[in-house]
A and B are shown apart, each in its own frame.
Chain A
Amino acid sequence: MFERLRCFIRARWRFRGYEPQPVTVKTVCRWVGQFSPPDRKYLPTLLKHIRYVDEQETRRILFDLNRQLVERLANEGIPIEKIIYVQVDEAGSSSPFMLGLLKNDARLDRLDCKFVDSRDVRMLRDTTDSLEEGAIIYVDDFAGTGRQFCRSRDFVIPYTVGNFAEFFLVPFICEEAVRELAKRGVEPITAGIHKAEDRLLRTECTLVAPKIRDHLTSLSSRINPKWALGDRNMGAMIVFYRNAPNSVPLILRGSLNQDPYVGILPRSTDLPPFF
């Protein structure tokens, strides 16, 4: 009972506004209740090390990063009309959503910059053809391995014409993605690089005793022994109000359709359909 209370206080306070599944007494009790009493004592430690980014913070970070970048580019001779903002994924996913937020908050519509969907290769090509030089700014909320971003970017970039500096505007990014971007000359514009040593369940992390880490990892392995720490076993510990990245450990997300294990911060695609 005590652990449930500790988890609830920590989760309810810290994860306010988590959209896929609100954090309530019921969801916290269900999540804690599926673990045996000896296991439960480690759960508050796990929750403590999650970096939760709420809507307000996401908007603020995006706005600030963008303002700094636009000012920097202007100082280096790239005016706003030579900037192309690119969403890198399909409608409804995080990239178009983040670009939408930024567009509203920074009132980009009132400026002369361009907006292109990376899947509209023709438009990207025509826009770069007419501008001839400038900057391409890809926008998203998070990058884990960076593979998905690089796959989209590598396909469209041969169609661009002229000289364009490339930036990836992203509130948080894992160090693995930074390496992938560096190979391509894409500069991350970010509020923080999420290093392996900051991820609680990674062996590189020294924030907790190895015994606690191994125990939490074994609990996560019960859900999926191969990808216990999420996609590519990255073990990311950053969660956005809109959704958790798929590189977050499964102990936080639960099983697909939340059966047999439920999560405290499931991704929207982890939840069962209503119909």
Chain B
Amino acid sequence: MPSTDKLQASAPKVVPSGILKDLRPDQVVPSKNNPRRLFDPRPLKDLKDNIRQHGVLVPITVFPIRGQDKYSILDGERRHRCCVELEQEGLTLTIPANIVEPPTKVAGLLYMFSIHGYREQWELMPTALSLEIVMRELGEKDNQKLVNLTGLSEPQIERCKKLLKFPKRFQDLSLDTNPQTRIPSNFWIEALPLLDLSERVLPDLTKDLTRNGVTQKLVDKYRSGAIKSVIHFRRVMEAYEFAQPERKKVVVDRIRHYILNPNLETRKAFDEFVLDNRRIQNAITACESFVSDLRGYKLRYVADKDNLMAALEKVRSYVDHLISRLEGTDPPPPPLDDQPREKS
């Protein structure tokens, strides 16, 4: 396994070419990975006002695009966007730019990760496939090292790895360009524990259908509309985990029936085993009394804080993990076209 030093050496390097140029906004193109909703309008307006008054003070970083007489942005998307808008308002200005060498393939991917970290609704599959290339090129699979390299969080890396566990033919269902038929990336992440569970508790079914066959059954079920939300897979896991020993067999039989019957809806199949509300209410009460108890101890000025800090860190780590688990939701529905599509 490569050392961290070796990995860091392969991390994105901006190789300066020693040129500082003044570029017109139309000579600069945004990064191809730039999500258009990246920027909050308010700070952008402040920056724009500032540039209107003083011009661009800090140079942006760009690299030449071979084949085009233009430069792609590595750093400075916001400044460039402001300049484009100001130009549309009739202001003529140039942007000082540090010209650097084009990034290598891996450096470009690592840069993309840093952008994806800021996306509001980022699609996980491109990130997962890019991570696959980075792992292959650098020979690195360790989560913590990948966190350091990519800037992605460990749960994000974990989710990407889960996606990569699926065979290509299933991954490709999330690459469908038609949003109406595309299987969302979260489907695979949420389905994975159920597939593992069914392999464990229904070995005969997995033997008959194979694991891919069971996966296909879940895809068919999703396509038939029997999975209203991919997070409903969690109900299956909860139903199994919380079932009393004498009820386990009933739940396992229900899982078998659920997998084999494409029209059986998830909640209909498992709600009777799940006492969601009571558990959630208990957890909320526990959170409230935890915070209230801590407040009661008036800890703000304690001098001997090391043990306390360690304990709080543990709490934070658990809470972060839990929040990130709970945050996994369905992707937003594709935008509705209210007008006819352009065709030629």
- Interface residues of chain A, those whose CB is within 8 Å of chain B, are 72-73, 76-78, 93-94, 118-119, 121-122, 125, 129, 132-135, 140-148, 152, 155-163, 165-166, 182-185, 187, 227, 231-232, 240, 243, 245-247, 267, 269
Contact of A94 among B67, B68, B344 (CB under 8 A): B344
Question: Is there contact, CB below 8 Å, between A185 and B29?
Answer: yes
Contact of A185 among B30, B130, B168 (CB under 8 A): B30
Question: Is there contact, CB below 8 Å, between B129 and A159?
Answer: yes
- Bound complex: CA A140 to CA B342 (Å): 13
Taking chain A's interface residues, is the majority helix, strand, or loop, or is none over half, making it mixed?
mixed
Question: Is there contact, CB below 8 Å, between B32 and A78?
Answer: no
Question: Is there contact, CB below 8 Å, between A243 and B344?
Answer: yes
Question: Is there contact, CB below 8 Å, between B343 and A155?
Answer: no
B residues 98-128 with Cβ under 8 Å of A?
102-103, 105, 108-109, 112, 123, 125-126
Residues of A within 8 A of B33 (CB): 157-158
Whether A148 contacts B341 in the complex (CB less than 8 A), given A121-B177, A155-B177, A158-B123, comes out as yes
Contact of B67 among A78, A146, A152 (CB under 8 A): A78
Q: Please report the total number of B residues contacting A with Cβ < 8 Å.
A: 37
B residues 140-189 with Cβ under 8 Å of A?
168, 171-172, 175-178
Shortest CB-to-CB span from A243 to chain B, Å, is: 7
Whether A182 contacts B26 in the complex (CB less than 8 A), given A118-B177, A125-B129, A158-B126, comes out as yes
Residues of A within 8 A of B172 (CB): 121-122
Shortest CB-to-CB span from A121 to chain B, Å, is: 4
Question: Is there contact, CB below 8 Å, between B30 and A183?
Answer: yes
Chain A residue with the shortest CB-CB distance to B172: A122
Question: Is there contact, CB below 8 Å, between B339 and A232?
Answer: yes
Residues of A within 8 A of B112 (CB): 158
- Bound complex: CA A157 to CA B343 (Å): 21
- Bound complex: CA A73 to CA B171 (Å): 34
Question: Is there contact, CB below 8 Å, between A161 and B108?
Answer: yes
Report, nearest first, the 8 A-B pairs whose CB atoms are least far apart: A185-B29, A165-B67, A121-B175, A142-B344, A158-B126, A245-B344, A148-B342, A165-B68
Contact of B342 among A78, A141, A147, A157 (CB under 8 A): A147
Question: Is there contact, CB below 8 Å, between A129 and B342?
Answer: no
Q: Could you list some 21 contacts between A and B, CB below 8 A?
A: A72-B67, A76-B66, A78-B66, A78-B67, A119-B178, A122-B175, A129-B133, A144-B342, A159-B175, A161-B105, A163-B72, A165-B65, A165-B68, A184-B29, A185-B30, A231-B339, A231-B342, A232-B342, A243-B344, A245-B343, A267-B343
Residues of A within 8 A of B171 (CB): 122
Residues of B within 8 A of A133 (CB): 66, 102
Residues of A within 8 A of B32 (CB): 157-158, 160, 166, 184-185
- Bound complex: CA A166 to CA B30 (Å): 12
Q: What are the interface flags for B63-90 relative to A under an 8 Å C-beta threshold, 1 for contact and 0 otherwise?
A: 1011110101000000000000000000
Chain B residue with the shortest CB-CB distance to A148: B342
Chain A residue with the shortest CB-CB distance to B63: A163
Residues of B within 8 A of A155 (CB): 177
Contact of B66 among A77, A122, A185, A267 (CB under 8 A): A77
- Bound complex: CA A185 to CA B30 (Å): 7
Residues of A within 8 A of B26 (CB): 182
Chain B residue with the shortest CB-CB distance to A226: B339
Report if B340 contacts A (CB, 8 A).
Answer: yes
Q: What are the interface flags for B28-71 relative to A under an 8 Å C-beta threshold, 1 for contact and 0 otherwise?
A: 01101100000000000000000000000000000101111010
Residues of A within 8 A of B130 (CB): 161
Whether A184 contacts B30 in the complex (CB less than 8 A), given A135-B67, A155-B177, comes out as yes
Question: Is there contact, CB below 8 Å, between A161 and B133?
Answer: yes
- Bound complex: CA A157 to CA B103 (Å): 17
Seed contacts A125-B129, A145-B342, A159-B129; 4 additional CB < 8 Å A-B pairs: A157-B33, A159-B125, A162-B108, A231-B343
Question: Is there contact, CB below 8 Å, between B344 and A156?
Answer: no
| Best-surrounded residue of A119, A133, A156 (most CB of chain B within 10 A) | A133
